[in-house]
């Protein structure tokens, strides 16, 4: 009887071990075969914005290397939640990704505390692709030419000035709230679903100023329809040396920069994420892609999955502070 029980127990152990090994072997096989069909990269903003342009540049390079279609799919709205939700609910196999900024990970969970799905909880950061400051832009008809002029007017006219951003949970909005707090003023926030409509309203006079990535307003500035007052960094940005920084006016001003990258659904096999990360790293090592990033106003700062996540977590803590100070709630 004892001998029979030993055999049964051994069979159970073998069965359990086999069950543990199979998923690992499947994961390895998936990583080796990946990708063997089309991949979709979701952009949580409208076409034409910085995230969209960068995602399309990256997807073109991935398509060349992987010999599989890498399709960009714009899913704007809900501060990025639509794209995040779709990705999180699809199979965690690396065939559905999100290309987006730090805002979807470090800001959204603070503002939308009751959301069932958010990028910090349900997505895995894979690779950071680039970093850019924001710019504070006004229409050509604006009386403001410097940040001190803007602040002086805002102090004497509380809540009269309006500033636009591409969303309630955007870094752009946080920079606006930070300026209000640090300068001791109060401007009214106007959220949009992306940069395109905000730019149109800026030129049309519906809003007084806009926080945007440089490429979002570059055409307007070159055409003389708008001008940049400052970049939202402590020091001047190397790619925009002629534009003053907010830090030159407000001492102790923190860095407000958008850094963008790829995310996949949590649970995606490590081998798959490693392959995506390695391919993106190779792409970013090429001078032609670095020049493309520079053209779009982004410095070519690559970070792998772990380092990207650490930077996002640091950003998450910093954003929590501004959300608390400004009493930002879901709108």
pLDDT tens by residue, 112-147: 989 999 999 999 999 999 888 999 999 999 999 999
**Quick one: 35 and 176 in the same domain?**
no
Q: In whole angstroms, give the CA distance from residue 281 to residue 300.
A: 11
Structure tokens at 207: 């809003």
Q: In whole angstroms, give the CA distance from residue 330 to residue 112.
A: 6
Instruction: Choose among 222, 98, 213, 133: nearest CA to 166.
Output: 213
Residue with tokens 């955007």: 170
**Burial (CB count within 10 angstroms: exposed 0-12, middle 13-18, buried 19+), residue 188:** middle
**Quick one: 123 and 263 in the same domain?**
yes
Domain that holds residue 47: 31-131+259-326
Q: In whole angstroms, give the CA distance from residue 210 to residue 198.
A: 7
115, 205 Cβ separation under 8 angstroms: no
Instruction: Choose among 125, 120, 119, 126: nearest CA to 62.
Output: 126
198, 189 Cβ separation under 8 angstroms: no
> For 232-329, where are the E strands, in sequence order?
257-265, 303-304
**Quick one: 123 and 172 in the same domain?**
no
Percent residues over pLDDT 90 in the chain = 66
For residue 190, the surrounding DSSP H or E stretch is: strand 188-191
CATH of the domain at 93: 3.40.190.150
The answer as to whether 253 is a domain residue is no
Please report which confidence band the pLDDT of residue 20 belongs to, taking 50, 70 and 90 as the band edges. Answer: very low
Q: What is the pLDDT of residue 17?
A: 44
Q: What is the pLDDT of residue 27?
A: 46
Q: What is the pLDDT of residue 19?
A: 43
CATH of the domain at 201: 3.40.190.10
**Quick one: 145 and 231 in the same domain?**
yes
Total number of domains in the chain = 2
pLDDT tens figures, 286-328:
999 999 898 888 888 899 999 999 999 999 998 898 899 888 8
pLDDT tens figures, 45-76:
888 877 898 999 999 999 999 999 999 999 99
**Quick one: 198 and 242 in the same domain?**
yes
Please report which confidence band the pLDDT of residue 242 belongs to, taking 50, 70 and 90 as the band edges. Answer: very high
**Quick one: 177 and 210 in the same domain?**
yes
pTM above 0.85, yes or no: no
**Quick one: 208 and 274 in the same domain?**
no
């Amino acid at each position: 009887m004892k001998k029979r029980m030993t055999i049964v127990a051994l069979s159970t152990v073998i069965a359990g071990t086999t069950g543990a090994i199979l998923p690992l072997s499947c994961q390895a096989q998936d990583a080796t075969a990946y990708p063997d069909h089309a991949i979709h990269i979701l952009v949580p903003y409208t076409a034409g914005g910085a995230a969209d342009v960068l995602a399309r540049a990256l997807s073109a390079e991935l398509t060349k290397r992987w010999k599989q279609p890498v399709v960009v799919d714009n899913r704007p709205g809900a501060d990025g939640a639509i794209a995040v939700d779709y990705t999180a609910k699809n199979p965690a196999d690396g065939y559905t990704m999100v290309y987006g900024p730090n805002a979807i990970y470090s800001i959204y969970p603070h503002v939308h505390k009751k959301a069932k799905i958010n990028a910090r909880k349900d997505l895995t950061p894979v690779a950071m692709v680039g970093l850019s400051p924001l710019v504070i832009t006004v229409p050509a008809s604006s009386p403001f030419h410097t940040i001190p002029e803007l602040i002086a007017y805002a102090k004497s006219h509380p809540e009269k000035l309006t500033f636009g951003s591409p969303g309630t949970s955007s870094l752009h909005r946080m920079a606006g709230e930070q300026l209000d707090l640090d300068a001791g003023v109060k401007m009214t926030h106007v959220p949009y679903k992306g940069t395109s409509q905000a730019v149109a309203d800026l030129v049309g006079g519906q809003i007084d100023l806009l926080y945007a990535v440089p490429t979002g307003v570059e055409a307007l500035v070159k055409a003389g329809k708008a001008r940049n007052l400052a970049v939202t960094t402590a020091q001047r940005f190397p790619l925009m040396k002629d534009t003053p920084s907010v830090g030159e006016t407000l001492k102790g001003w923190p860095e407000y920069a958008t850094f963008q990258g790829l995310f996949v659904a949590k649970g995606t096999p490590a081998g798959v994420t490693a392959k995506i990360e390695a391919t993106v790293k190779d792409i970013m090592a090429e001078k032609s892609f670095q020049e493309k990033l520079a053209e779009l106003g982004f410095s070519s700062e690559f970070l792998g999955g772990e380092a990207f996540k650490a930077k996002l977590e640091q950003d998450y803590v910093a954003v929590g502070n501004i959300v608390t100070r400004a009493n930002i709630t879901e709108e």
